[in-house]
Structure 1
Amino acid sequence: MLVIDEHYYNRLRDIIRVRVGIDISCYSKSFIARRVEFRMNIYNIKDYNDYLRLLESSDEVNAFVANLSINVTEFFRDPDVFDRFKELLKGYSSARIWSVGCASGEEPYTIAIIAKDNGVRCSILASDINKNAIEYAKKGLYPSKSIRNVPKDILAKYFTLTGDRYAVRNDVKDMVTFEVRDITKSIYTGQFDFIFCRNMLIYMDHVSKERIINNICNAMKPHSYLILGKSEYVHNCSMLSCIDTKAKIYMKV
């Protein structure tokens, strides 16, 4: 794996900050190194300086930032997590939900479908740092591989086959507002009943993880829920109590 020394890392960070206004220092250096190596291989670039020059002088900087978004996603990914979410949702007649790092939109649309299917009025904010992923999500059109976990009755009820793709029904799309947003800088105060932040923290450094968790806690109502990825957990946060160790669900106390 490519190893980036401090000098080159700082140059990379500064180029991206100046050109697109995004601070990559929240990500772990090993994660950034893997992303750089991936982009260099696309261009068959062997020298790190050559790649930095490419970032400075072309649209590659936008492609690199887009590559930071974690796009491994599908509808009803980890069905047991959504089963648990459905149980918790039964206590609500309406709910405000935030899907952090929503990538191409499968997660927030899954949330919307569950809420609608259970008669819960729901307003969902879905955010990601990758503007291309957000534009894709807004269209609500997905290949068959994205819907492989969708139950047949749900597929028939909330999707329409359009050519070789599945379109999310408009009344489901209307429940979701998509935004390009950097979670490390997001500030809300007590707005959300549920926040999904799955499979993002594992790519962040320790300081950034703490900052993100703090921002999320500030955006949570009392007794609301945070749902993390299955390999993620919260350290030493007095505001959160884990209520499901398997599904990684925390309640704000």
Structure 2
Amino acid sequence: MNNVPEQRPYYDDEISLVDLAATFIRRRRVFYVVFLVTTLVGLAYALLMPGKYEYVSLYQMAEVESGKTVVAPATTIATLQNRWFPEVQATHREMEEEKLPFEINFSNPENTGLIRMASEASQENATLVEETHKKLINQVKERQQSLLTRDKKSLENRIEAIDRAVESLQGGEDTGSAIADAYEKRVDLEGKLEGLNPGETLAVSRESAERTGTSRSLVVVLAAVLGGMLGVFLAFVAEFVMLVREQLGEGTDK
């Protein structure tokens, strides 16, 4: 039995790399046109798209003592996200009949009592961003001031109650230790009263030094890549359409 090497069958409809290269060369003008048009469109979009900047506002929350805020930052952020900011959005939509053109990201930097508000917007919307941030900061400030006033009033009432108790104890027998305890509690309450610090606005809609979002150069590069891929695809589509027309023409002649 002879060991004859098996030959791979040849099919007329097989396409080789040479055929692909020849097809692409024949239809290279299609590729050039598509590539050039797509790249120019991308360049025009990159030049005309509005540049966006990050606008940041910072608010230092009110404190009941050093390092302890009047309310947890997470609670304030939840209220901002689910109540106050949606209310501002609804008001803007009602008055301007359009959606607010930016979002606000709320966060609390780790180990701080800060509330950070950040928005990405074009410079033409900078004033609107500032107004919106101010509205939200004022709502936070008013809420925290009311809580601070409540705590202050409670401490003052407790101090007055201790003073009345001391007055009633004075002149009595064996009241020295009770008066001393009362004074000690009074000093502690006065320390807490002095530790109440109102909130403070540290920055309002501070604009970033550099643009944010997709850079113009990246848009042009992506447009060029897309133009290349689309150009190659349409070049082969053009060849396919030509072959179909030739087949239809031959069938008609017969």
Higher strand content, 1 or 2:
1
Q: Which has the higher contact order (CA 8 A, sep 6+)?
A: 2
* Both proteins in one fold, TM over 0.5: no
Q: TM-score, normalised by structure 1?
A: 0.21
Higher Rg = 2
TM-score (norm 2): 0.21
